[in-house]
Amino acid sequence: MAHEIVNADQAAAWDGPEGEHWAAHHTRFDATIQPYHRQLMPAAAIAPGERILDIGCGNGLTSRDAARAAGPGGSVLGVDLSGPMLARAEQLAKEEGLDNVRFEQADAQVHHFEAGAYDLAMSRFGVMFFLDPVAAFTNIASALHSGGRLALLVWQSIAANEWVSAMRDALAVGRDLPVPPPGAPSPFSLADTDYTRRVLTEAGFTDIAFSGSAHPFYVGDDVDDAYSFVTGLHVILLLVKDLDDATRARALDNLRATLAAHKTAGGVTFDSSAWVVTARKP
């Protein structure tokens, strides 16, 4: 069955090399953002028997935890652009004996969800890449019944997330690297609370609230481990892809030095900050 996709550029990355990297390193990614995951789940406030839509579910930890919270009387649908990550999500759900969760490859901006079928739409860092955020959240709202809830994790600004800003600085090698504007598909597209509030309001949500927090962002046990991991990230590959060989080598040397400067007793870590965003469909 063909899946309607409007976000072609993101689909090419997440259904290709980026998704493969995340699927291969799912344990690392889940460990890295575990402190934020522990904040999202209480904010989602899942009750037994509820039906949950997990947007940008990735390797499926959020979906699996939601399925456990919903219990046998509830259900979870996890959707993502990434075939590789969905395959990992299905494998892990099967291994954990969860039969109330299913996964579907879909672009949440245009996918035809069952209208009014869900109690909760949630996402752990999976909603920052929409081509048209208002259209996407309007579509997500259509899947919720009246009174249905929204619970999201999104990154705060690049400046508040050293794990990106420090690596960008290391890889700049004399370039003035642009910062994506609010709304452009990127990990930080929903960092501005005024912008995000406007998007969600236009999409039909009310009672919009933001709760911020900061946690260490773990990228590896040591410098070699961290370097191997981060050099497979799409955001890093994009920053070096147009450099000549000598400049790329210098940039990557700078990156390794930056990782070494952030080595702690708990591994290589950077500062990070995120929002938990909650809202309701009237």
242-261 per-position pLDDT tens digit: 899 999 999 999 999 999 99
pLDDT of residue 58: 92
pLDDT tier for residue 57 given thresholds of 50, 70 and 90: very high
Please determine, for residue 75, whether its predicted confidence score (pLDDT) is greater than 70: yes
Please determine, for residue 30, whether its predicted confidence score (pLDDT) is greater than 50: yes
Integer Rg of the chain from CA: 19
pLDDT tier for residue 1 given thresholds of 50, 70 and 90: very low
pLDDT tier for residue 2 given thresholds of 50, 70 and 90: very low
pLDDT tier for residue 180 given thresholds of 50, 70 and 90: confident
Reading the block at residue 219, the tokens are 């990228």
Please determine, for residue 18, whether its predicted confidence score (pLDDT) is greater than 80: no
What is the percent of the chain where pLDDT is above 70?
92
pLDDT of residue 4: 56
pLDDT of residue 3: 56
Phi, psi of 238 (to 5 degrees): -65, -35
When pLDDT is averaged across residues 67-96 and rounded to a whole number, the result is: 95
Q: What CATH number has the domain spanning 8-158+180-218+272-280?
A: 3.40.50.150
Question: Measuring CA to CA, how many Å separate 247 from each of 66, 142, 166, 229, 240?
Answer: 46, 49, 18, 21, 9
Classify residue 14 as exposed, middle or buried by CB count within 10 Å of its CB (0-12, 13-18, 19+).
Answer: buried
pLDDT tier for residue 233 given thresholds of 50, 70 and 90: confident
What is the percent of the chain where pLDDT is above 90?
77
pLDDT of residue 11: 44
Most confident of 178-182, 208-212, 238-242: 208-212
Strand ranges, E, within the chain: 51-55, 75-80, 101-105, 118-124, 144-155, 206-220, 263-264, 267-280
pLDDT of residue 24: 72
Please determine, for residue 8, whether its predicted confidence score (pLDDT) is greater than 80: no
